[in-house]
């Protein structure tokens, strides 16, 4: 149930992200989700894509620093309070979240989480009947 996320290091320079999207587009790679963590000098783009391995090698060819990290994708109802429920479960289990990002559409909301302990998080969420998505399910959406 782990999902491969790509992280790309980008300097804060004009046109860098445009170039990344062009490279992925030309390689026929689709993006499902992304987020940018930035500070004054650089940004880290975190991406969920249709083919992480292909995306990584094409970006490396273009000399980008790309790393691959396992993350978890969970699904909650698109309703007030549903994320709070999940967060409470994780807090009670003492899971520390490095970062997360989310998007919602229709009845469902998808949350991507990078916790400090992947196995424990998956176990805790499964026990509590939180729905986790595998990558093929995610890309089928």
Partner 1 sequence: MIWNETMECMSREDMRKLQGIRLKKTVERVYHNCEPYRKRMQEKGITPTDIQTIDDIVKLPFTSKKDLRDYYPFGLLSSPMSEIVRLQASSGTTGKPIVVGYTRNDLNIWGEVGARCFTAYGLGKNDVVQVSYGYGLFTGGLGAHGAVETIGGAVIPMSSGNTEKQIMLMHDFGAVGLACTPSYALYLADALLDSGIPREEFKLKVGAFGAEPWTEGMRKELEEKLGIKAYDLYGLTEIIGPGVGHECQHQNGTHLCEDHFYPEIVHPETGEPVPPGEMGELVFSTITKDGMPLLRFRTRDLTSLDYSVCTCGRTSVRMGRILGRCDDMLIIRGVNVFPSQVESVICEIPQLEPHYLLIVDRINNLDTFEVQVEMKEDFYSDEVSKMLDLRKQIAHRLQNVLGISPDVKLVEPRSIERSQGKAKRVIDKRIFK
Give me the residues that bind partner 1 (CB under 8 A), please: 5, 7, 9-11, 37-39, 41-42, 44, 46, 63-67, 69, 98-99, 114
SS3 21: helix
* Comparison of 60 and 79: residue with beta carbon closer to partner 1: 60
Minimum CB–partner distance for residue 78 and partner 1 (Å)? 27
Q: Of 20, 31, 22, 36, nearest to 138 (Cα)? A: 31
Residues near 120 by Cβ (< 8 Å), separated by ≥ 6?
93, 95
Closer of 41 and 136 to partner 1 (Cβ)? 41
User: How near is the Cβ of 45 to partner 1 at its closest, in Å?
Assistant: 10
Helix 16-26 to helix 52-61 angle (10° resolution) is 120
Contact by Cβ (8 Å): 64, 95: no
Shortest separation between residue 98's beta carbon and partner 1, angstroms: 6
Structure tokens given for 5? 């996320």
Query: Whole-number minimum distance, CB 115 to partner 1, in Å?
Result: 12
The span from the CA of 58 to the CA of 24, in Å, is 8
What are residue 95's DSSP bridge partners? none
Q: Which is nearer to partner 1, 45 or 83 (CB)?
A: 45
- Closer residue to partner 1 (CB): 88 or 96: 96
């Amino acid at each position: 149930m782990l999902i491969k996320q790509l992280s790309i290091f980008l300097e804060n320079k004009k046109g860098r992200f445009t170039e990344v999207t062009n490279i992925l587009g030309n390689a026929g790679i689709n993006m499902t989700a992304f987020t940018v963590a930035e500070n004054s000098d650089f940004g880290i783009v975190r991406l969920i894509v249709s083919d992480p391995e292909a995306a990584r090698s094409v970006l490396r060819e273009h000399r980008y620093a790309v790393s691959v990290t396992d993350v978890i994708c969970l699904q909650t109802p698109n309703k007030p309070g549903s994320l709070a429920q999940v967060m409470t479960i994780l807090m009670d289990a003492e899971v520390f979240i490095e970062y997360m990002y989310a998007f919602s559409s229709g009845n469902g909301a998808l949350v991507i989480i990078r916790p400090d302990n992947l196995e424990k998080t998956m176990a805790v969420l499964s026990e509590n009947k939180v729905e986790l998505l595998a990558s093929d399910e995610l890309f089928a959406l």
